[in-house]
Structure 1
Amino acid sequence: MKLLALDTATEACSVALNLDGDVIERFELSPRRHSRDLLPMVEAILAEAGLSLSQLDALAFGRGPGAFTGLRVATAMVQGLAFAVDLPVIPVSTLAALAQQGLREHQASRVLSAIDARMDEVYWGAFSESDGLMVPVASEIVAAPENVTVPSLDRHWFGMGTGWAFQNRMSATVMDCQIEVWPHAHDVALLAAADFKQGKGLPAEQAMPVYLRDKVALKKSER
């Protein structure tokens, strides 16, 4: 299996190749430069692996939640590449990718992912490990930090993501958290591979971002 994954849902821009379970990645923090940097990164990682786009089996992308502009960049890029060579597309939650990173880097089997959503809110999801992959145990939401929901308070949880900067306002308690972390295409590629094997690839035109929120700024009356 040869799968290319992209993620531009946050300040980070990353691409990864999952080659039968071996993952190589290019990652950089490049706020507001995703549209400039993403395609050269794709071309570079394919060249490093000695592959052409047509030799891939599927494409994957971080479908959100995250920054509206970043999500559109990744969606447009993956759709264009998929249309060019007729490949299936696999959307992956950026909150799930953060949780997978928590498992991969910190051996955390229960992760509360939180991304700063601006407007005094966080994007929030809870995940638990199953056969080496993080799966959701609650619906993803956008909410004020005081209103996030935590399944099974009696269990030990690990926090991942910039939303944990609001930890002093959350009812959730964690044994530890990593705040200065961002979703990686590496983890998108790991999760997408499992979905691909289960036949969950979509036609390019059905690959859509997930915002969780339908507005990008507060009105004056709301500030």
Structure 2
Amino acid sequence: MRILALDAATEGCSAALIGPDLALSRFEVAPRRHADLLLPMAEELLAEAGWSLHDLDALAFGRGPGAFTGLRIAAGLIQGLALGADLSVVGISDLAALAAGARRSAGVNRCLVVNDARMQEVYWAAYDFDDRDEPRCLGEEQVAPPAAVVAPAGEWYPAGNGWMAYPEALATVHAAANGPVAAIHPHALDIARLAASRVARGDAGSAADAIPVYVRDQVARKSA
């Protein structure tokens, strides 16, 4: 399965290309530079592999939740590439991608992902892993004040940049964790691998389906 994936949901900007015996990626923490970096990253990876877009099976992107501008940049690029090359598209939850990254880097079995949502709120969800070693959400993705985050039962590890953004508000729940933060930013490599499993199951859409998932319904707030 040959998949190109892009992610721009947080300060981290990444692209990844996977295929048989191949896993290439680019990652950079670069706030406000996603629009400049994503397409060149993708072009570099394809050139390194010696592939064109027409050699791919599908495209994938981090569909959110995350920074609204970053999500729209990634979704827009994926839509354009998919239309131009007639490729199917898979959107992957950035919280699930973070859980998969924690599993990949630290071997965790259960993960509480908390990402900074700005406006004194966080995106959060808890995950364990199914028999395919894919993250399974224990409940639903939510946006809420940090004090509303609830730890899952049993042993778990933290992931996401929210733990650093709101250390005092999350101190009580963080104290129950079984280790340090296992992953900070979602990575396109994990998005690509999760997408490959979905494509193999026939679970992919068209360019028109490359739509961000914001979770937060209120996208603007007037000052008091």
Equivalent of 1:191 in 187, 191, 194:
194
Code of the aligned partner of 1:8: A
1:179-205: CA deviations, max 9, x gaps?
A: 872110011011111111111110110
Deviation of 1:98 (Å): 0.5
Q: Write the distance in 1 (CA, Å) between the matches of 2:80 and 2:180.
A: 37
Cross-structure match for 1:202: 205
Which sits farther off after the overlay, 26-35 or 88-97? 26-35
Q: What percent of counterpart residues are identical?
A: 47
Tell whether 2:44 aligns with 1:44.
Answer: yes
Deviation of 1:94 (Å): 0.3
* 2:91 and 2:195 in contact (8 A); partners too: yes
Cross-structure match for 1:143: 144
Q: CA 1:199–1:144 in 2, change beyond 3 Å: closer, same or farther?
A: same
- Unaligned residue ranges in structure 1 (runs of 5+): none
1:97-129: CA deviations, max 9, x gaps?
A: 110110000111101111111111100011102
* 2:106 and 2:182 in contact (8 A); partners too: no
Code of the aligned partner of 1:117: A
Cross-structure match for 1:163: 162
Q: CA 1:113–1:67 in 2, change beyond 3 Å: closer, same or farther?
A: same
Matched residue SS, 2:180 = strand
Matched ranges for 1:1-223 at <5 A: 1-20=1-20, 22-130=22-130, 131-152=132-153, 155-165=154-164, 166-170=166-170, 172=173, 173-178=176-181, 181-221=184-224
Code of the aligned partner of 2:155: H
- Unaligned residue ranges in structure 2 (runs of 5+): none
Deviation of 1:91 (Å): 0.2
Q: Write the distance in 2 (CA, Å) between the matches of 1:142 and 1:215.
A: 11
Deviation of 1:169 (Å): 2.2
RMSD: 1.5
Code of the aligned partner of 1:13: C
Deviation of 1:168 (Å): 3.6
Matched residue SS, 1:71 = helix
* 2:105 and 2:183 in contact (8 A); partners too: no
Q: Write the distance in 2 (CA, Å) between the matches of 1:30 and 1:194.
A: 29
Code of the aligned partner of 1:20: P
TM-score of the two chains, using structure 1 as the length reference: 0.93
* 1:164 and 1:177 in contact (8 A); partners too: no
